[in-house]
Structure 1
Amino acid sequence: MSDAPKVRGAIPREKEKKGEIKFITVANKGTREQLELLTAMKNIVSRHLPNMALDYISRIVYDTVYHESLLLINCKDNKPFGGICFRPFPTQGFVEIVFCAVDSTQQVQGFGSYLMQHLKKEIQSRGIYHILTYADNQAIGYFMKQGFHKHVTLNKERWQGYIKDYVEATLMECVLHKNVEDYTDVPSTIKKQRDALQSLIGQVSKSEIRPGLTCFKQGIPKIKIEEIPGLKETGWKPDIH
């Protein structure tokens, strides 16, 4: 059995490599294909948010000017089963997530996390490094797992008045970092960090295996701490407790 740590999004990442799923960004330009994909997205959101007015969902998802949708597609039938509807504010330096949903039959497999990773990659490619969203109480946990926090660091003058306020929802922010090469390849990033850390540890630590103490077998009940072989070489001093 592999001792590699489980990484959020490992299952969908493997499916993407096998060509079973794909991610596409759709802006409504009125083509039949776009309308069919966005209709599927609208239906997913309406099922996910049954208390939200359908006309409002439709107005946002079908918007031809401001909003786009990153869709998670099943390659077998070319139909979406998840997506994120977002609005970029490039001059203000942020993107607003309006809707984020995955079909209930596909949840708890990491698709939601991997979908967010793809959005981060897309946003980063546009030179934008802040994502804002209003999360209801049920969604706060999900967004926190994706690196969002309740303390918004983006200057308030950059976003206030640009995004819609929601009742009983919490404004959350995710800050992207330029030094992350690919947000969809988290395991590779983690491995590089671990390798760098191990290299630094190796540079400052001295490792040497010594034989165990034999004094107790010889009938000596105790010895002084400083007499333990190799202890002084580690930097230990009598005044260290």
Structure 2
Amino acid sequence: MPCKLVILISGSGSNLQAFIDAAEQGELPADIAAVISNRPAAGGLERAAQAGIATAVVDHTGFANRDDFDAALRDTIDSFAPDLVVLAGFMRILGADFVRHFRGRMLNIHPSLLPKYPGLHTHQRAIDAGDTEAGATVHFVTEELDGGPPILQAQVPVKAGDTAELLAARVLEQEHRIYPLAARWFAEGRLTLNGNQAELDDNALPPTGFPFHCVTAD
């Protein structure tokens, strides 16, 4: 049976589109079982519908607290029985119980070279710090925000005169390459979480994940 994915989104779904394209082109040996959003107006829901993928909405504004939202979201995800949950621009912090429920089978991508710049405004923070490189990191999700074991990392140069928007666009191109690849490794049974260590082919990955230099932008 192919690996079943559920993808969580909050916005337009550009990373979602990368997964759809990879699956359609045979580069991702997995079925996208559903796309779930916490925002009813998320543009990515239309992308999913156009691709014939089931969609669901769990609107966070309809819940009195985070725990109730997490429980409803967990139950909705579980109804599709996924092997892997992919956070693709999902803009809600998830509680510890939720994360533990999906431990070892939930991935996120963060637009910085973790452990640098967890949280928001990553591109501006890299520019303000005078960094010469920025990038994106795919990691397993754990209870620590943006702190789960890294899997794969792509670097891009920070250019003179860069704005946060220009740098974000350059990083996003790389996100679209590395995120489906990490999911492919998982689908092929090559990628696992062992304790608090990401392993590829039973080998521990480096502390910052696999360095995907071959897709570095010029």
State TM-score, norm by structure 2: 0.30
Greater relative contact order (Cα 8 A, min sep 6): structure 1 or 2?
A: 2
More strand by share: 2
